[in-house]
Chains A and B, each alone.
Chain A
Amino acid sequence: MIARIRTVFVQEFRLARRNQWVLLATLMLTLFALALAFFGAGQGAALKADVLSLTAASLATLSVYLIPLIALLMSYDAFSGEVERGALALTLATPIRRWELFAAKFLAQCCAAGIAIVGSLAIAGAAVALVYGTEPAGLWAWARLTATSALLGAVFVAAGLTLSAATGRTARAAAFAIGIWLVMVVLYDLALLGGIMAAGEGVFASRVFPWLVLANPADAFRLYNLAALDAAPVAGIDGLARTLPFAPAAALGALALWLAALLALGMNRTGRIEP
């Protein structure tokens, strides 16, 4: 079992590297992080706030868009591509279990996405700390951001793999990947914003709304990072982070639940693929 998972892992990670996903994602995230850090730094100095904490706050808002996109792009073709090329039948003709295949692909792509995320945030964080100096609070905020970004990446890798296994066709998987990204990352927020504007202050805003935010992994990620920052100026939906009916750590629980649910669903779907 371990030998088979390792075999698929090595192959899948090699592919991610050769397709230059790791390099591309690292470059993109590093550039965005550096841009936010150094353009936002003037404001931080004026506020006499720690630049690293401030950058962590703005980067949390940006990562919500970028990381799910990168994770979905890495993973959406993992099964559908092999089904279309006829290679999956060969893999499944060997003694490998379906869940082993899913798990190995998941681990490899998480590693690829994780290396890009951790690497780019480490580079950008080090640059900011060197130029502006930092305090323990800033380092903590940065570490939290890095760890939860990797977790967010894992959730969307699992989502991408699941839809790849469920659709079985590359074109359809790509459409679903874009659809999921739009709904989860963009439209969901807009709908919530519309809801809270319409409902105003009341039961919806204080009781229902926070749970709806928690229900979306992307929002849960942002909520956790912003709620953990005392100094960051937050507004709009993010202002909610100040008046939560639950502890911020509950947002991590939501992410973990999503991950577990998607892994279970993905393995189930992989079991139903007919190569």
Chain B
Amino acid sequence: MNVLDITGLTIAFGKTVAVDNVSLSVAPGERLALLGHNGAGKTTLFKAILGFLKPASGQIAVAGHRPGSDAARIAVNYLPETVAFARNLTGREVLEYFSGLRGAPRAEIAGLLERVGLTGAADRAVGTYSKGMRQRLGLAQALIGAPRLLLLDEPTSGLDPVSRHEFYGIIAEAASRGSAVLLSSHGLEEIQNRTDRVAILAQGELRAEGTLAELAARAALRSTIRVTALPGEAERLHAELGGTRVNGTRLDIPCPPGAKLDLLARVGSHAGALADFDLQTPGLDDIYRHFSGQPLREETPQ
């Protein structure tokens, strides 16, 4: 049985539809990454799963229970994108607080601190923690009571690569113990090899869902061959090979997946006119852009 089942979920604020007919499910031990821009509806979806927002239509079942019911609240633990615990409390006191509210045994706390590497800092005030330590404390909080579903809202934003790596290690461990994980992110590279499936959300709609390999195959994106012509040869190359002129000497030629070798041979026949050659294969960002209809980050001028 799935830990999370969402069917035809629509959430509206007045006339603005924040989440539009979304269906998703996550099985025990599975990690699903939810990708989307700010404003794509990720946080709204999380709040609905927590029972903070009422859906306009559709259903959510958390371990078979209605969101916001006691059983559902016990089953889900949550880490919001930005959380600042009271600076005057120690890490251990923060965990004691949430353990108390969840009715989890206090004896668990030492183990949780150990898992996130905060044992040494457990009795220091949270105000003295680094950003990475605070985020790990947040994660420890989310692991209290061995939740069946972990909701992590952009858990690694603002973390350095080393902290990020450790963070995903802890998440993988939780998943291996049987927790289902739903995490949001706006970086595809980041979640590559770290989640089992990916769902792309744009403007409240679920645009694609599957493993990264499935999405890449479904997108069937074209590569681009970029050639730089010798002086005076650009005009002729453009006429022969097609594509678009980038500047006086450069030419971008789109290349459908099956036609790569063919095109390469044609370019090769003009080797005498070329100064340089480059093959750009579609990256994760291009896959994301294909499905969401938007670039993942601001285009950098070339």
Residues in chain A within 8 A of chain B (CB atoms): 3-4, 6-8, 10-11, 14-15, 18-19, 85-87, 89-96, 274-275
- Total chain B interface residues with beta-carbon distance under 8 A: 28
A3-B100, A11-B97, A14-B93 are contacts. A90–B82 as well, Cβ < 8 Å? no
Are the C-beta atoms of B73 and A87 separated by less than 8 Å?
A: no
Question: In whole Å, how far is B214's beta carbon from the nearest beta carbon of chain A?
Answer: 32
Cα(A92)–Cα(B93), bound, Å: 18
Chain A residues contacting B84 (CB-CB under 8 Å) are: 85-87
Give 5 nearest A-B pairs by CB, closest first.
A7-B100, A94-B101, A18-B88, A85-B84, A86-B83
Within B39-74, which residues are at the interface with A (CB < 8 Å)? 47, 50, 52-53, 70, 73-74
> B89 interface residue, CB < 8 Å from A?
yes
- What residue in chain B is nearest A6 (Cβ atoms)? B100
Cα(A85)–Cα(B82), bound, Å: 7
A89-B80, A275-B52 are contacts. A7–B88 as well, Cβ < 8 Å? no
A4-B100, A7-B97 are contacts. A89–B89 as well, Cβ < 8 Å? no
Chain B residues contacting A7 (CB-CB under 8 Å) are: 96-97, 100-101
Cα(A8)–Cα(B94), bound, Å: 11
> B158 interface residue, CB < 8 Å from A?
no
Chain B residues contacting A86 (CB-CB under 8 Å) are: 80-84
> B77 interface residue, CB < 8 Å from A?
yes
- What residue in chain B is nearest A16 (Cβ atoms)? B88
Q: Mark B203-227, 1 if CB is under 8 A from A, else 0.
A: 0000000000000000000000000
Are the C-beta atoms of A4 and B101 separated by less than 8 Å?
A: yes
Are the C-beta atoms of B50 and A93 separated by less than 8 Å?
A: yes
Q: Mark B139-163, 1 if CB is under 8 A from A, else 0.
A: 0010000000000000000000000
Pick from B52, B97, B141: contact of A274, CB under 8 Å? B52
A85-B84, A93-B76, A94-B101 are contacts. A11–B52 as well, Cβ < 8 Å? no
- What residue in chain A is nearest B99 (Cβ atoms)? A7
Cα(A85)–Cα(B134), bound, Å: 13
Are the C-beta atoms of A87 and B85 separated by less than 8 Å?
A: yes
Question: In whole Å, how far is A103's beta carbon from the nearest beta carbon of chain B?
Answer: 14
Q: Could you name 23 residue pairs across A and B whose Cβ atoms are closer than 8 Å?
A: A4-B100, A7-B96, A10-B100, A11-B97, A14-B88, A15-B88, A85-B84, A85-B85, A86-B81, A86-B83, A86-B84, A87-B85, A89-B52, A91-B101, A92-B52, A93-B76, A94-B98, A95-B70, A95-B74, A95-B101, A95-B102, A95-B103, A275-B52
Are the C-beta atoms of A8 and B52 separated by less than 8 Å?
A: no
Are the C-beta atoms of A96 and B101 separated by less than 8 Å?
A: yes
> B241 interface residue, CB < 8 Å from A?
no
Chain A residues contacting B86 (CB-CB under 8 Å) are: 15, 85, 87
Question: In whole Å, how far is B45's beta carbon from the nearest beta carbon of chain A?
Answer: 14
Given contacts A90-B98, A93-B50, A275-B47, list 20 more A-B pairs with CB under 8 A.
A3-B100, A4-B103, A7-B96, A8-B101, A10-B100, A11-B97, A85-B83, A85-B86, A86-B80, A86-B84, A87-B85, A90-B141, A91-B101, A92-B52, A94-B73, A94-B102, A95-B70, A95-B73, A95-B102, A95-B103
> B78 interface residue, CB < 8 Å from A?
yes
Cα(A91)–Cα(B88), bound, Å: 17
Chain A residues contacting B74 (CB-CB under 8 Å) are: 95
A93-B76, A95-B70 are contacts. A3–B103 as well, Cβ < 8 Å? yes
Are the C-beta atoms of A90 and B88 separated by less than 8 Å?
A: no
Chain B residues contacting A93 (CB-CB under 8 Å) are: 50, 73, 76-78
Cα(A7)–Cα(B73), bound, Å: 17
Cα(A18)–Cα(B47), bound, Å: 32
